[in-house]
Amino acid sequence: MHMEFQPITAIAHPNIAFIKYWGNKDDVLRIPLNSSISMNLDGLSTQTTVQFDKALDDDEIFINQMPASDEASKRVTDLLDIVRGVSGMVTAAKVNSQNNFPMGSGIASSASAFAALSLAASRAAGLCLDEVALSRLARRGSGSACRSIPAGIVAWHAGTRDEDSFAEQLVPSGHWDLVDCLAVVSENHKTVGSTDGHRLASTSPLQGMRVTDSDRRYQRCRQAILNKDFELLADVIEQDSNLMHSVMSTSKPELIYWTEATLNVIHMVSRMRKIGLEAAYTIDAGPNVHVITLKETLNVVETQLANISGILHTLSAPIGGGVRLVALQAEPS
Ligand code: PMV
């Protein structure tokens, strides 16, 4: 008789970067060229259950109740292989991953997905990894996933090798009433994903400058957060996002994610700030605009955004917690 493996479930939030990660020193280990800072997004989450099972020949992976694509399955199996390597087991696993936000909502699910998978898979394999080890593991699946491990606003220290490239908390979620109000302008799947995008970054003549100046922006962003200085935060996150999109748009081939509606939101945010409202934009590898604001200003921001042509809907998220285990209710017998 062999011991049965228990199913383990973990939950994690996606994050939005204030100081962006774009380009690696090492594409395989996902060691970034610059340190980054992000905020976890409360209310949005990926829940993942992992069970190793000796009856399986290969890993079985389901995302939102559908069998995962070959590409997604390979990324999950690669991460499970790392866990199997560390724990010394060879057993295949069944993985069920479920997002509570629509795939087409413009929120990258890879960060929350690989953060939840790292905790669920390592525990299911009998490992008890600390936060740093979990962050390093999640990074191997998707770089930004390492920032979805700690709670609150999080800094990812770029480091130079596997051991020293991980994220840690900068401030807990209760530190500041920041809210991300995401203006969804397109629900289409991005044409060039970030794994390929990171590889293209070095083809832009602007990438060297973006990386060289990144520590200055990182320090300003850190200060803005520690001092709850919204004006400074707005100034630095918009500049950082624009620098990343300048690199993207000058890569070969070029990556242009913005649409007319993206620009409409950018102009609206500038107008809001001119009249004294706390609002700042930041944009990931897609056309949707994350408008960072404060809880007390959220209603006004939502009303202003509702007037812009091209916005499909908005989604709001305050600062979220870190990855955690979930005790599932037993099925009624
Ligand atoms: O973790 P990845 O490989 O999906 O890259 C994330 C890239 C950006 O979202 C554009 C920036 C960031 O720092 O999250």
For the stretch 20-46, pLDDT in tens is 999 999 999 999 999 999 999 999 999
Long-range residue pairs from 3-7, CB within 8 A, at least 24 positions apart, any chain: 5/51, 5/52, 5/53, 5/54, 5/91, 5/124, 6/51, 6/124, 7/49, 7/50, 7/51, 7/124, 7/328
Atom number of ligand 1 nearest to Cα 111: 1
pLDDT score at 146: 98
The reply to whether ligand 1 has any atom less than 6 angstroms from the CB of 165 is no
Judge whether 329 lies within some domain: no
Atom number of ligand 1 nearest to Cα 285: 10
pLDDT score at 326: 96
Same domain (yes/no): 167, 185: no
Judge whether 222 lies within some domain: yes
SS3 47: strand
Same domain (yes/no): 179, 164: no
pLDDT score at 178: 98
- Which residue is closest in CA terms to ligand 1's atom 6? 144
pLDDT score at 1: 43
Ligand 1 binding pocket mutation candidate from 284, 288, 289, 290 (most atoms within 8 A of CB): 284
The pair of three-digit structure tokens given for residue 216, joined into one six-digit string: 């200055």
Helices (H), the chain: 70-87, 110-124, 131-141, 194-200, 207-212, 214-226, 230-249, 260-274, 298-306
Residue ranges in the chain whose pLDDT is less than 50: 1
Same domain (yes/no): 104, 166: yes
pLDDT score at 69: 94
> How many folded domains does the chain comprise?
2
Atom number of ligand 1 nearest to Cα 195: 3
Q: What is the pTM of this model?
A: 0.96
Same domain (yes/no): 25, 161: yes
Same domain (yes/no): 161, 294: no
pLDDT in tens, 156-211: 999 999 999 999 999 999 999 999 999 999 887 667 788 889 999 999 999 999 99
Q: What order of strands is seen across the sheet that includes strand 166-171?
A: 15-19, 36-40, 153-157, 166-171
For 73, the domain range is 8-173
Judge whether 327 lies within some domain: no
Same domain (yes/no): 186, 210: yes
CATH code of the domain covering residue 239: 3.30.70.890
pLDDT score at 3: 63
Query: Last residue of some domain: 173, 195, 226?
Result: 173
Q: How many CA atoms lie within 13 A of 89 on its CB side?
A: 19
